[in-house]
Structure formats: structure tokens, C-alpha cells
Amino acid sequence: MKVLILGSGGREHALAWKIRKSQHVDWVGCAPGNGGTTSVAESVDLDISSPEAVVKYVQDNEIGLTVVGPEAPLANGVVDAFPDDQTHLVFGPSAAASRLESSKRWSKEVMASAGVPTAGWRGFTNPYDAIAYVSSRNTACVVKASGLAAGKGVYVCDNADEAAQAVTSIMIDRDHGAAGDEIIVEERLEGTEASLLAVCDGIDHVVLVPARDHKRIGEGDTGPNTGGMGAIAPNPEMTDELVKLCSDTIIAPILTELKADGTPYKGVLYAGIMLTDDGPKVLEYNVRFGDPETQVILPLLNVDLVDLMLLSASEKLGGFLKQIGLESHDWRRIHSAQHCATVVLASQGYPGSYEKGKQISGLPNESENLVVFHAGTKLVDGGVATNGGRVLNVTGLGDSQESALLRAYSAADEIQFEGKIMRRDIGG
């Protein structure tokens, strides 16, 4: 089988790396890919913003499975453009279901209808109304661009002044473009964050190993939000009881609600969760594999990822789970007992402006317990250079969280490029 992956980041490198190991696969393409994906996939020159171009390439090249990495093509309707047959399967949700991520307001409304626990919120399309609202409350809150902002449109605010500045940045200064046409202002939840991903077929689901992402740029969770500066799995805070609770109250109700609305959800569903004193509550849903959570989840997955994707795309996951007696929440049966940690090496200035084209040295060879996933790199004159804000995901495995982190940090310290930055408290 031929598999095409859409995207160019660390998530897509991890997907290509895992998919290449499948017994079903004899060719992997990555459109457009990056400087690291070339080791496991062929780079494909394809306009992934055009659903028609993607489908034509898939049909012309007899691609059996297409895996959509980033959120933008999903919101743009790439899945909807595929013919309804079993010849060219696609892993990912429809544009309508993708609104769980592309419209935070709509996502909140669906959560309310489904009875999913989440933070209280208000939506605004007028910046001055929003500023008046946050000023009158004068409490800690979270201000979010409602549209797609590449994981950077979230502002965690301590007071009214910070919230007003966040509204100004999003809606008046247009720091995130059209994603800021509408915002939501949420109550600020306190607790520990967790990430739970589930493979879904429209009705049924199976969760993957719970992870923890570190979003903010600075150590001690300080500074602006980023796309993610590192992750660990399994998340020690996510007990088996908590995972089952989240599966039952956060994943399953959304699938039921969307199916009832005529927009069944197929693909991977990401739930960003806050573990509060009142129980787990949803911070946000994403409609694709998390980044960098994917880089710590897939190395621990000990079943064929392509099997799960095919079952999802063909709406046969539920039958398979019943056949093998696997409960939706029982992630341990399909993952190894190891631990995994990834440390992001980023460019100086990220998540703001940064320079590209810095030569990278000290990249280690892949081993049984160490792999470096490329995020923002390109090949230049036989070497590898920086080509993005998040550059590399240095990923270690071990029998404990500590040993996995030690492997990742030891390798991260050996890798060099001008302006390299990283957090040294991942997993803490």
C-alpha cells in the first residue's frame, strides 16, 4: 500500500517514521515534508491547500491511504473532496466536524449540548465589547482567537490589563489574521494539564497513551504560548480511573453529539484537558494529532498504526474492538510499558519573529531509545539547516520518565545551531 502524509512538521515526521514500519506499507510520501522526513518518506511537491489537487494526486498515483497532519487542510475540506469508496481512504474528519478546532465558539456550543465539562465562557465579535467585559470582571482569564492560529492564539491573563491587551493583539492589531475575527473569553481553570488522544470511526473510539505537553516558551510555564516546547508520555497524573472518566465524559459524548448532528467524527480527536479539583475539564479540542504529543505517543504504540487508521477511515473500529475485547479506555493493551520524552529545540525569538538558515550540527544517529524528529528543517548543500520556529524534537525512551528525559536532554545538548533555545524543565 502507498500512504501519503500531508504536512511538514515534527508531527508529520513522527507519522512517517511510524507508518513506514507498517507491514501494509511499501511507499510513504510526505507533502511537502522537511529535512528529516526524507529519511523515511519521499518528498512530494503538492499544494495541500487545494483539496482538488490532493485528490488528483492520490488517484493518479494509486495512494491507498492519505493521512492529514495539520488542521488547515482539514478545515479547508480536503477529506470531503475524497470519493466515497474503499479504494482511496483518508484519515481525518470532515470540514464540518473540524469546526471543533477551527471555531472555538462552535466547539464550546457543542460541548454544552453534549454535556462535556469545560470552562465558562463568552464570545465576542466586537473588540470594544470584549475589552469592556474583561475590564468589568477584572479577574484572571484566558482569551482565545476563535479561528485557527497555529496553536498561538491563546493568551493566559492574570488581570484585566493583560486581558485587554490580548483582545487588542488578536482583534485590533490582527496578530493572528482572520483567526481573530471572533474571540472567546474563558474562565481560567487551575490544575494540571493533560492531553488525551483517541482514534475514532464516527461512533466508537480507542484512546492512546495519555501525554503532557508544555505549551509556554519559558521554564516554569512562563511567557507566551507556543505550539509546544516538549512532552512526556505516559502522563503520571492520568491514572487509569481518570483516563476512563475522560473517555466516558469527554470523548464519547462529543462523538455521540456529532453523529446526531449528521457530522460523524472520523480520525484522531485530541482533547486538551485541565485536571481541576472539580474533575477533568476540556480546555480545547484539536482535530488532528497533537504536536509534540505525537512524538512521544507513537514510539510507545505497539500495534500497527496503519491498522488503526484503516479501521477509522472505513468505520470498522468498533467491530474490531469488540472482536478483541478491547475497552475504549484501555490504552495499556496497545502500548509498551516504557516512557517517552521529547524536548523541542527552537529558534531564538520563537514564537515571535526568528531567523532561518542556521546550520545544524551534532545530530545523533537513531537508536533503539533515541530518535530526532525534524520540525522546521531543510536540506542545504548536503547538510541540515533551520527552517522554522520549532526546529527539532529530540525524543528519548526509557524504563522511567527520568531515564527517557536524560536520553533526550543528553542528545539535545550535543546538537548545535546558532540561536538554539529549549526548556530544561520538561516533565517537571
The list of the chain residues with pLDDT below 70 reads none
* Same domain (yes/no): 344, 328: no
254 and 354 inside one domain: no
What is the pTM (predicted TM-score) of this model? 0.95
Report the chain's terminal Cα–Cα distance, integer Å. Answer: 41
* pLDDT for the residue numbered 86: 85
Query: Does 11 lie in the same domain as 70?
Result: yes
**Domain count of the fold of the chain:** 4
* Whether residue 307 sits in one domain with residue 202: yes
Tell me whether residue 117 is in a domain.
no
**pLDDT for res 138:** 86
202 lies in the same domain as 316: yes
259 and 382 inside one domain: no
Domain-terminating residue out of 159, 181, 203? 181
227 and 308 together in one domain: yes
The domain that contains 314 carries what CATH number? 3.30.470.20
Report how far residue 420's alpha carbon sits from residue 416's, in angstroms, rounded to the nearest whole number.
Answer: 7
Which domain range does residue 143 map to? 126-181
379 within some domain: yes
- Domain-terminating residue out of 138, 161, 181: 181
Residue 109 lies in a domain: no
Please give the pLDDT value at position 84: 87
Which residue bears the cell 484537558?
A: 273
For residues 209 and 326, state if they share a domain: yes
The answer on 318 and 216 residing in a single domain is: yes
Residue 102 maps to a domain: no
The model's pLDDT over 47-95, given as tens digits with 9 standing for 90+, comes to 999 999 999 999 999 999 999 999 999 999 999 999 988 899 999 999 9
Residue 241 counted as domain residue:
yes
Question: What is the CATH number for 83?
Answer: 3.40.50.20
C-alpha cell at 59: 488517484
The widest CA-to-CA distance across the chain, in whole angstroms, is: 60
CA distance 142 to 155: 6
Q: Which CATH number goes with the domain that contains 165?
A: 3.30.1490
What is the predicted pLDDT for the residue at 384? Answer: 98
Residue 7 lies in a domain: yes
Residue 294 has a pLDDT of 98
In a domain, 267, yes or no: yes
* Residues 29, 80 within the same domain: yes
HEC string for the chain: CEEEEEECCHHHHHHHHHHCCCCCCCEEEEEECCCCHHHCCEECCCCCCCHHHHHHHHHHCCCCEEEECCHHHHHCCCCCCCCCCCCCEEECCCCCCCHHHHCHHHHHHHHHHHCCCECCEEEECCHHHHHHHHHHHCCCEEEEECCCCCCCCEEEECCHHHHHHHHHHHHHCCCCHHHHHCEEEEECCCCEEEEEEEEEECCCEEECCCEEECCEEECCCEEEECCCCEEEECCCCCCHHHHHHHHHHHHHHHHHHHHHCCCCCEEEEEEEEEEECCEEEEEEEECCCCCCCHHHHHHHECCCHHHHHHHHHCCCHHHHHHHHCCCCCCHHHHECCCEEEEEEEEECCCCCCCCCCCEEECCCCCECCEEEEECCEEEECCEEEECCCEEEEEEEEECCHHHHHHHHHHHHHHCECCCEECCCCCCC
Same domain, 362 and 309: no
Specify whether 235 is located in the same domain as 141.
no
> Where does a domain end: 305, 334, 363?
334
pLDDT at position 225:
86
